[in-house]
Amino acid sequence: MRAETQSQAETIRKSLALLAQRMDYETAPHRLEEFNAMIEDPNLWNDPAKAQKLMRERQMLMDAIGTYRMIDSGLRDNLELIELGEMEGDNEIVTEAEAGIRALVQTAREKELEALLDGEADGNDTFLEINAGAGGTESCDWASMLARMYTRWAEKKGYKVELQSISEGEEAGIKSVAYKISGHNAYGWLKSESGVHRLVRISPYDSAARRHTSFSSVWVYPVVDDNIEIEVLPNEIRIDTYRSSGAGGQHVNTTDSAVRITHLATGIVVTSSEKSQHQNRDIAMKALKSRLYQMELDKRNAAINAAHEAKGDAGWGNQIRSYVLQPYQMVKDLRTGVETSDTDGVLNGDLDRFMQATLAMDVAGKSRAEATAED
């Protein structure tokens, strides 16, 4: 067996060891049996919230066990095929098995990172807000490009994307937009995207075809689980209704159905303008509770947050990623140093490499300065 293949097999074994440790593989089958017994309880759905939580936890455990066994059996099978091929002098079998092990290395790496998404809210659905920053119409257009990028990424992941509110730009693009993205680990993956994103390109809105720099900020915070209690008293908020601004036409909003909720103590403002007033009030209140929950998470993780720059204002400072389309093509993450010239791929939702690198850096406890110094 070639030394490279032996090294790859050892890398996979290390990933398997971490996966086993994360789910406590020795007790996992017994816990799954307990889950299976609990879902047979005829009174389970008397408490829908509790039942749904139980079903989610059971599915997560089933997925973890299935992933471990798939990688483990794949490694064993391919190593046996290599041994068999070498004994019989069949290079075709050896080549195919080596390709299988190379593919397993990537799968194991991805699953290892996914297993590290074990923060308190990592498994939750998430809210994603995008706000145009410095740069006027250019930044509004850039905000719409980011909205498309994240929508494409979420759809590739199989996540559900729901528009919560949108404010159109005066000439083009959007001033701000908010989405709810639903799916397992949606917040865990997207939380690394909070920050300022910078675009450099030849402006399609400049008749002189000059190069422009635009900024937009992204803010990600988890949807509060039904089992997490966040109390918001009526005297702590102000609720305003207003007429939402849509695309016009026969569906233009003619009533004050949009809702804006302001949390007086913190100054947090949330809006919803896509549904009826009753639904918008409910959506906005959930968004407010999620924002307050994110603040609480930030307080608990103050030491970690201090090691990484905060989102800040959408301008020259506080950038996390740069997207250069002219005079050359390059997307570079300023925290991890990860970069690619495939700008089209990134803007079409190919973001996993950036998210994985940031997650790995966070797990390693590196600061932005340390990560870039190694680059």
Provide the pLDDT for residue 345: 97
Provide the pLDDT for residue 116: 74
Provide the pLDDT for residue 363: 60
Beta strands in the chain (DSSP E): 126-132, 160-168, 174-182, 195-202, 211-222, 237-242, 258-263, 269-272, 319-324, 330-333, 339-340
Termini Cα distance of the chain: 33
Provide the pLDDT for residue 11: 92
Provide the pLDDT for residue 250: 45
Distance CA 269, CA 291 (A): 9
Distances (CA, A) of 190 to 65, 90, 124, 150, 181: 24, 46, 11, 9, 10
Provide the pLDDT for residue 101: 95
> How would you write the pLDDT of the chain (375 residues) with one tens digit per residue?
889 999 999 999 989 998 898 888 999 999 999 999 999 999 989 988 788 888 988 988 999 999 999 999 999 999 999 999 999 999 999 999 999 999 999 899 888 877 777 777 788 899 999 999 876 889 999 999 999 999 999 999 999 999 999 999 888 899 999 999 999 889 999 999 999 999 999 988 877 878 889 999 999 988 876 555 678 888 999 999 887 665 444 444 456 788 999 999 899 999 988 778 888 888 888 889 888 888 877 776 654 344 334 444 555 557 899 999 998 999 999 999 999 999 999 999 999 989 988 887 766 555 445 544 554
Provide the pLDDT for residue 302: 59
Provide the pLDDT for residue 315: 55
| Domains by residue range for the chain, with CATH | 3-115 (1.20.58.410), 126-374 (3.30.70.1660)
Provide the pLDDT for residue 151: 97
